[in-house]
Structure formats: C-alpha cells, structure tokens
Amino acid sequence: MKIFVVNCGSSSIKYQLINMENETVLAKGMVERIGMEGSLLKHTPTGKYTVDLPEDIPDHAVGIKMIISALVNPEYGVIKDMSDIDAVGHRVVHGGERFADSVLITQDVLKGIEACAEIAPLHNPPNLHGINACMEIMPTTPQVAVFDTAFHQTLPKVAYLYGLPYELYVKYGLRRYGFHGTSHKYVAQVAASMMQEHMTDLRIITCHLGNGASITAIKYGKSIDTSMGYTPLEGLIMGTRSGEIDPAIIPFLMEKENMTAPQIDDYLNRRSGILGISGLSSDFRDLESAANRGDERSQLAIDLFAYKVKKYIGGYVAAMGGVDAIVFTAGVGENSPFMRDKICNGLEYLGTRIDPERNKVRGKAQEISVKRANVKIFVIPTNEELVIARDTFNICKRIIKL
C-alpha cells in the first residue's frame, strides 16, 4: 500500500509518498511560497537528484496538482498513475476535544476540523485547504486526518485547566491542548523499544526541541502533561516565540507601547524567544557560534533555553513520581550535543549523566547516558510522516482491498 502524506502550512506543502510494505520513502518534497512571487516545487525521488519546478502556485489546490504530476512524471516520478496512491494521510494541527485519535475523513469529520479552526485560526485552515484539494483530485481515495493534539487528549483536568473561571472552558474550550503529539508519541515508542520494554511500563519525558519546542510527560503510555497550551505559544522559550510569560505583561505593553492585539500576537510569536533575547538569530547554530566569539546576549539566550528545559524536566519528574527515560528530538535535540549536555548537566540527582563520547551523535537514534544509568537518556530522530502513514495504513487497511 502506498500512502501520500500531506502537511499543509499557510504558504507551504510538505509531502512524502511512503511504501508501507517496507516503510520506505519513495519520494518527498515541498511546495514553497504559495500565493507569493517565486513559488516552486522541490521534488526528490529517493536516491535521485532534487528537481526544482518553479511555477505560479496561487493556492494549495494547484500545489497538490503539481505534486501529483511530479509523482507520476516519466522522468522523475515514482508511480505510473495517480490510482497507485492507496490513501492520503493529512497532518491536522488542532483536533480540539473531539478528536483523541486519527480518523477517516468524512463530511462530518470535515465539519469538526472546521469547528476547531476557531481555536487554531493560523493552522487548521491551510490543513483544510490540503484536504479539500486532495478530495477533489482523488475523490475515491480514502483520506485520514492525524492530529497534533490527539496524543495529549489523555491529560487529566488538573494538567489541562487554566486558573480561569470554569465557564470560559465550557464556553470557549479555553484549556491546554498541547501540540507535537505525533512526534512525542513516536519517539517515546522508539525509546521503549530500545529499552526492550513496553511504553505502558515506563515513565518517559520527551523533549521536542526545534524551532518550536515542547516537552511532554508520558506516564505508562499516556501523555499526562505537556508544555504547549491552548496554542503553541505557551511553555518553553522557542526560536521566535516567548513561551510562558506573566499575562499581565500583555495589557502593560498595550498601554505603554500603544500596541493592538494583533501587534502583541506578532511580537510574542515572531519577535520574541531566543531571537528577542539575543537580538541576533532564532537559530541555535548562529547563537552557539556567536557565544563562542563572546557575544553575551547569545550566551544568555542559550542559558535561558537550557534552564527552562531543565526546569520542565524536574517538574515532570515530580508529576510522574519518577522517570525512566529522557528523550531528545527535533532540530536542536537531534543535532546539538552542546545543548543536550547543558540541559542534562545537574541531573545527576536523578541517577543519570550524559556520556560525552556517546553524546557526539547527531541525527541518529542512540542512548547517550552513561552505562548502567538509572535513567536512560536518548537521542531519537523524530518521524512525524511515518506516524501519519502508519495511522493512515491502520485505518485504511480495513477498507481497501490489498
């Protein structure tokens, strides 16, 4: 069975075509700058060169059509015909309280995703564009939605409610939802298998540290707390997002800086975080080299990030009554031995320590704690596309004749 995995952002579409017989990627790529000048499709058939296909791509529907044409192209395509795609798996950011698992998309499910757009106005509408485009182009191919929030639907009320009047939760669904769920679930599963244990027997803290960053406490297989909240703005300090701040700062800024609500939103989402602290960059690679040259604010941004991650780890150890494994994933987590070392420095009280030699690993699944550590520390590259493909496969194998 061949699964087309689609991840639509506001101006981009990332995709992979995965053969589920051996879980191999046949082709992958990205449509960039939708609706802007310079839009193009970058398409890479596995094991071959990348082709750049510049074209006017006014919307997601045109982008999806271009991807399908590339997939069936006689020169750089990987399938003969569109009908070789057995099912489509869509990443959907927000599933609200309705979707605690991946689902086959029906008209009713579409309405549910539309309803969640009210709480995720930036993310769910482009996801819906992608779904609608695929349903139009491939009307008889089953489509599945895989939600970023679903894995966190097991959070208990004490972890997901804010200290606001309860009526606001009932009226508007104002609560913690959490994000990066497919990533947290995947790396926890891999960690459990590397420990030759079942996730249901372990307490795992997963640190998804990329441009967006979140941490999750997974107790005996279930997410019981996570750092992102009602939106992906809460929690850790991130590339350009502030993470948690005192909410009283918002009316203060509105008054003192004469800012409107959209301006504040832009400030907190795109101009804060390590970019705001360093005044230099949202990329940890830039900060690490600037700090090495003696740039104090870059050093401060690095210190602040590592401190926050460590604080969350401590908090989640308390929430779970202990921990068996800590996992690092995403851009920083997979590639920065320096940051991993800084975060774990001081966790010896838990009965763990990083092995400097093992910690040199980049982008590969490996245990990085010292031998016989009570708490194992792992680097595990995330693979959200594979989770989407697996969920789609599991849902569709019942309805597709193989």
Among 331, 385, 386, 387, binds ligand AMP (CB under 6 A): 331
The full length of the chain comes to 402
Adjacent-strand bridge partners of 215: 207
- The per-residue DSSP string of 174-187 comes to -S---S-HHHHHHH
Catalytic residue among 56, 59, 148, 391: 148
Which of the ranges 73-81, 92-100, 277-285, 391-399 carries the binding residues for ligand AMP, by CB under 6 A? 277-285
Residue 341 in contact with ligand AMP, rule: CB under 6 A = no
Among 332, 368, 395, 396, binds ligand AMP (CB under 6 A): 332
Which H or E run includes 307?
helix 296-320
Please report how close the Cβ of residue 30 comes to ligand AMP at its closest, in angstroms.
12
Rounded CA separation 131/128 (Å): 5
Rounded CA separation 253/168 (Å): 24
Residue 360 in contact with ligand AMP, rule: CB under 6 A = no
Residue 240 in contact with ligand AMP, rule: CB under 6 A = no
Residue 186 in contact with ligand AMP, rule: CB under 6 A = no
Which of the ranges 246-254, 279-287, 351-359, 367-375 carries the binding residues for ligand AMP, by CB under 6 A? 279-287
Among 16, 143, 206, 336, binds ligand AMP (CB under 6 A): 336
Residue 147 in contact with ligand AMP, rule: CB under 6 A = no
Tell me which residue of 156, 182, 17, 22 sits closest to 102, measured CA to CA.
Answer: 182
Q: Which residue is nearest to ligand AMP (CB)?
A: 331
Edge to edge, what strands does the sheet with 103-104 contain?
A: 51-54, 40-45, 24-32, 13-19, 2-8, 87-92, 143-147, 103-104
Which of the ranges 105-113, 253-261, 280-288, 383-391 carries the binding residues for ligand AMP, by CB under 6 A? 280-288
Contacts of 256 (CB under 8 A, 6+ apart): none
Place of tokens 């602290």: 277
In the annotation, is 148 catalytic?
A: yes
Please report how close the Cβ of residue 330 comes to ligand AMP at its closest, in angstroms.
4
Q: Is the dihedral of CA 308, 314, 317, 319 positive or negative?
A: negative
- Per CB under 6 A, residues contacting ligand AMP are 210-211, 239, 283-285, 330-332, 335-336
Q: What residues are annotated to the active site?
A: 148
